[in-house]
Amino acid sequence: MYKILLLLSLVISSVFAEVDANLEVVKKTNALPKILVSVATDTLEIETLNKIKKSLADDLSVSGHFEVASANSTSSYDNMPDVIGLGNQGINLYLNLSAKKEAGSYTLMTKLYDINSRTLLLEKNFATTQEDRYVFLAHKAAISTNAFFKAPPIDWMEKFVVFSTYTESGSADIMIGDYTLTYKKTVVTGGLNIFPKWADKEQKTIYYTTYNYKKPTLVKLNIYNRSKEIIMESDGMLACSDVNADGTKLLVTASPTGQPDIFVYDTRSKKQTQVTKFGGIDVGGHFIENDSRIVFVSDRLGNPNIFAQGINSSSVERLVYHSNNNSSATAFGNNIVYSSKDSSNEMGDKNFNLYLISTKTDSMKRLTSSGINQFPKFSTDGETLLFIKTTGGSSSIGIIRLTYSKSFLFPLKGKRIQSIDW
């Protein structure tokens, strides 16, 4: 049991979480259109609108498609901005924001100007009935601005993140939030509730493991109408580690006989099929190659490492020959990202860095360089990576824009995150 728990601590270790509004840009790119985000001088919704402005500017930076200016130039919402002054500062685009409240609705209004041609390019409004979700208005505005220029999509920004947070010893809640964790809402509370996983593309339902029954139990929950379905139970460990694209198959780590193995659960037939049958520890499976194979973590060579196996095959392939302590694997298409324990530095600290490999080539790329980096998760388009970073006693949500080699950190404080999905 100790060996199992030790491996699991590597695969699903905890970090501290609670949002800090300050975005830390780790890497920057040049030669991008320079955009200024401003709040209109005649708006009455200053407090929330300033928060939207900050989040929207952060989103545009994270996209990798804009350079966000820090200049201070304002105008009323219906007037042309100071194009001469802005042009002299090298600003190409000006995004002016206003807002209004009426009948229980909060509406963000945006106007995008081309400073060089002195023209209004785009005017668009975004509304919500829940003002505390203002950050999603920012995400939508960033997505819209990005799409206007036909830049590669950043639609993943408006997706919810689901995560588990420890509240006290033996107790953990399930929460949802935006990718920056600016917005957070508890959806499951009471007892020990861990390993949340989105069950559908619409993000209406989740799978999670609860210890509030006689045995560890996998539950499917609609977070809106609160309908609940018991999927399975198991002695020992039980966790859903992956859901295929159409939601018809789950990869579940279970130990019905005390030995952790990976199973495929068919949501239509309600049947489960055992995939791994090694006499050690196999956990954390993810689908690859159109659901025909899985990648997973196993100690079959004496230390945790990354392997692949066909769903209908007993043949196992070792994927990683770097380091002897590799875990927290995630996959998108033929790409795999995993966490690897690197050698101690001169200060005696041990780093867990993220590495990107392909199942089709021998290429390997290190994505982080310091601290403890775990829980990698691809965006829905495979272009962005979400992860947890811990360094110097503090923790952050990390975002890596893989195509652009840009990294961002959202510092966290407070609660401990048990696991995360988006």
Q: How far apart are CA 294 and CA 262, in angstroms?
A: 10
Please tell me the pTM assigned to this model.
0.87
Same domain, 233 and 371: yes
Give start and end residues of each alpha helix (H) in 30-108: 46-63, 83-88
Tell me the two tokens of residue 79: 């007037």
Judge whether 373 lies within some domain.
Answer: yes
- 134/255 same-domain check: no
* Domains: count for the chain: 2
Same-domain status, 328 and 201: yes
Residue 107 and residue 196 in one domain: no
Same structural domain, 240 and 322: yes
Residues 206 and 275 in one domain: yes
Residue 101 is encoded by which pair of tokens? Answer: 């409240």
Evaluate whether 252 touches 262 at the Cβ level (below 8 Å): yes
Q: Tell me, yes or no, whether 14 and 133 share the same domain.
A: no
Q: Is residue 271 part of a domain?
A: yes
Count of Cβ atoms closer than 10 Å to residue 59 Cβ: 28
Q: What is the CATH number of the domain that holds 141?
A: 3.40.50.10070
Residues facing 408 on adjacent strands: 25, 399
Listed in sequence order, the DSSP H helices in 167-285 are none
| Residue 29 domain-assigned (yes or no) | no
CATH number, domain of 194, equals: 2.120.10.30
In terms of Cα–Cα distance, which of 79, 117, 71 is closest to 98?
Answer: 79
pLDDT on residue 392: 67
Q: Which residues contact 112 (CB under 8 A, 6 or more apart)?
A: 93, 94, 95, 96, 120, 121, 122, 123, 145, 148
Q: Which of 127, 148, 169 is the last residue of a domain?
A: 148
pLDDT < 70 positions in the chain: 1-30, 343-349, 392-394, 412
Show which of 148, 181, 200 is a domain's final residue.
148
Distance (Å, rounded) from C-alpha 176 to C-alpha 185? 5
| Domain span at 300 | 2-21+157-421
- Is residue 178 assigned to a domain? yes
* One domain for residues 144 and 164: no
Structure token pair of residue 165: 């947070």
- Exposure of 359 by Cβ count < 10 A (0-12 exposed, 13-18 middle, 19+ buried)? middle
| Angstrom distance (rounded) from CA 394 to CA 21 | 15
Paired with 330 in beta bridges are 337
Boundary of a domain, candidates 148, 173, 201: 148
* Residue 261 burial (CB count, 10 A): 24
Distance CA 152, CA 390 (A): 30
Same domain, 115 and 143: yes
Tell me what pLDDT residue 393 has: 61
**Is 26 a domain residue?**
no
Q: Are residues 297 and 416 in the same domain?
A: yes
Q: 58 with 164, same domain? A: no
Q: Are residues 232 and 371 in the same domain?
A: yes
Nearest residue to 262 via CA among 251, 249, 278, 246? 251
